[in-house]
């Protein structure tokens, strides 16, 4: 299981202390939530902040684009140091456009992920199973940290686990929203391989929280 703390919930008044703790916590990834105030009703970080994270942390930068124009922003964040770009199925207009962006991300030497919101049926991903390194199941409405886990995400994770196993794919299944030790265990049992956690990690001791998610 990989753990991806979401720095949306990092305490920026204690940045140095928190980033050092995060680097030493055993977490594999930093989950970096980009919101444009349009695709979701909240606004977060631009590319310059990601560049700073790259300077102070060696962890893999897992960039989650919650934006209306992923085609434009994928390049912006790849240039700023993203290791992986995950964009939303709902922001795209066709399967062709989705595959084209995945191919562009791969051609840039980065990993590509696709995400679905809680109201989107997981079966929309069936034609795309071979195109991505990661499938991100949202277990809350994207936009804010600290929301309650929606158990309907578990069936989507199981569906992905079954379908990826059928084609012997080693793609990651990531889940994001309302993850704590209990909901994290349920996701692991359903077949998830990456847990994103924001408030749970940063409102408890970072290292203890990360270890409790494994």
Please identify every residue annotated as catalytic. Answer: 33, 176
In degrees and rounded to multiples of 5, residue 5 shows phi and psi of: -60, 135
Query: What whole-number distance in Å separates Cα of residue 31 and Cα of residue 22?
Result: 12
Least distance between ligand DX5 and beta carbon 60 (Å): 15
- Does residue 145 touch ligand DX5 according to CB under 6 A? yes
Q: Which is nearer to ligand DX5, 66 or 190 (CB)?
A: 66
6 touches 34 (CB < 8 A): no
In degrees and rounded to multiples of 5, residue 118 shows phi and psi of: -55, -30
Tokens matching residue 30: 């930093």
Q: Pick from 73, 82, 132, 177: which binds ligand DX5 (CB under 6 A)?
A: 177
Q: Pick from 23, 147, 158, 169: which binds ligand DX5 (CB under 6 A)?
A: 147
Query: What whole-number distance in Å separates Cα of residue 4 and Cα of residue 195?
Result: 6
Residues 189-208 that bind ligand DX5 (CB under 6 A): 196-200
- 70 touches, from ligand DX5, Zn ion, none (C-beta below 5 to 8 Å by class): none
Least distance between ligand DX5 and beta carbon 166 (Å): 28
Q: Rule CB under 6 A: which residues touch ligand DX5?
A: 6, 8-9, 31, 33, 64, 140, 142-143, 145-147, 176-179, 196-200
């Amino acid at each position: 299981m990989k753990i991806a703390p979401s720095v949306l919930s990092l305490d920026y008044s204690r940045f140095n202390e928190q980033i050092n703790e995060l680097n030493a916590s055993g977490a594999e990834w930093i989950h970096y939530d980009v919101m444009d105030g349009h695709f979701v009703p909240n606004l977060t970080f631009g590319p310059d902040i990601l560049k700073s994270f790259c300077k102070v942390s060696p962890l893999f930068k897992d960039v989650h684009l919650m934006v209306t124009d992923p085609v434009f922003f994928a390049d912006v964040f790849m240039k700023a140091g993203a290791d992986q770009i995950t964009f939303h199925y709902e922001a795209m207009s066709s399967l062709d456009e989705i595959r084209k962006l995945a191919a562009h991300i791969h051609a840039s030497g980065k990993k590509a992920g696709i995400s679905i919101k809680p109201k989107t049926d997981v079966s929309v991903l069936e034609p795309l199973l071979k195109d991505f390194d990661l499938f991100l199941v949202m277990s809350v409405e994207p936009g804010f940290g600290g929301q309650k886990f929606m158990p309907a995400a578990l069936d989507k994770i199981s569906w992905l686990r079954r379908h990826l196993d059928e084609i012997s794919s080693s793609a990651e299944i990531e889940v994001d929203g309302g993850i704590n030790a209990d909901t994290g265990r349920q996701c692991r049992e359903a077949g998830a391989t990456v847990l994103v956690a924001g408030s749970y990690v940063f409102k408890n001791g970072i290292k203890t929280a990360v270890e409790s998610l494994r």
